[in-house]
Amino acid sequence: MKLIRRGKVKDIYELENGHLLLHFSDRISAFDVKMTTMIPQKGRILCRFAKFWFEYLDFPNHMLSVPREDMMEVQKLSIIPLEFVVRGYLYGSLFERFKDRDNTGGLFDDSFKPVKAAKLPHPLLDTSTKSELHDLPINKKQILEDELLTARDFEFLEHESILLYKKMNTLAEKAKFIIADVKFEFGRDVDNKIILADSIGPDEFRLWLMSNYVVGHDQISYDKQILRDWLKSTGRLQQIQSNSFRPDTLEVPPEITEEIIRRYNFALNEISTQAE
């Protein structure tokens, strides 16, 4: 087994049989910054979440087996260098970008009125580049010009990504949750077939309890938004962005790590129970 990449939260190994092994670590990151504090049991929960969604969604995926609670054996793919974010609600980076309409890639017309956390008229695809440093928005026109995808493949992935989001959110709603947005990644197998890759869990989607949902306000999230909020409220995010704080010294307090795990566990149990 050979380590081929150490990401912010996952380690990837190459196996002797030619497959890959994803190790879901207890590391956590936010705003493209890796924290030094480990989140106990996080890797196991994310691996369980990924396994659950891969089995539940009716779309080919790269999962082959789960040899350990925090490890998943997957097919080796040629990864499409894009992130396919489906948004059902105006929140996070999309809401921030809305302040400058020229930076939303033509996703909205001039008649659309922005309200934080408002449900969008229909789910939409908001693509971004895939980077270990910082993902950037990229629209269909740029994708086609850079020959990252053909028009036919883009339209296929746009259609399927939105269908996957709708199926996930329908199940989440049965568990009294809202999936505000979700990030998908795809790759091509040896036959050039496009299949679902990476993982799906609280590191890839924004999850709210229906009972807490209030339009126009910040939402209580059952994902890693609690970490993002802590970084903002303590001023650490501003320090990182101004390069006055070393990211590798970021320690997350116990009350935040414990609440993250409590929410992850609660969401997994509530949602997976609805699929039984």
Q: Are 275 and 171 in contact (CB under 8 A)?
A: yes
Pick the CATH number of 2-77+229-274 from 3.30.200.20, 3.40.50.2300, 3.40.1400.10, 1.10.10.10: 3.30.200.20
Q: Are 178 and 89 in contact (CB under 8 A)?
A: yes
Tell me what pLDDT residue 112 has.
Answer: 72
Alpha-carbon Rg for the chain, nearest whole angstrom, is 18
Q: CA dist 54 to 123, 147, 192, 193, 248, Å?
A: 21, 29, 20, 17, 33
- Residue 234's identity, in one-letter code, is T
**Low-confidence residues of the chain: pLDDT under 50:** none
Tell me what pLDDT residue 33 has.
Answer: 81
Domain spans, the chain: 2-77+229-274, 80-212
How is residue 34 annotated by DSSP?
Answer: E
In angstroms, rounded to a whole number, what is the distance separating the alpha carbons of residues 39 and 111?
43
Q: Are 222 and 194 in contact (CB under 8 A)?
A: no
pTM of the model as a whole: 0.91
Q: Which helix (H) or strand (E) holds 79?
A: strand 78-79
Q: Which helix (H) or strand (E) holds 125?
A: strand 119-129
CATH superfamily of 80-212: ATP-grasp fold, B domain (3.30.470.20)
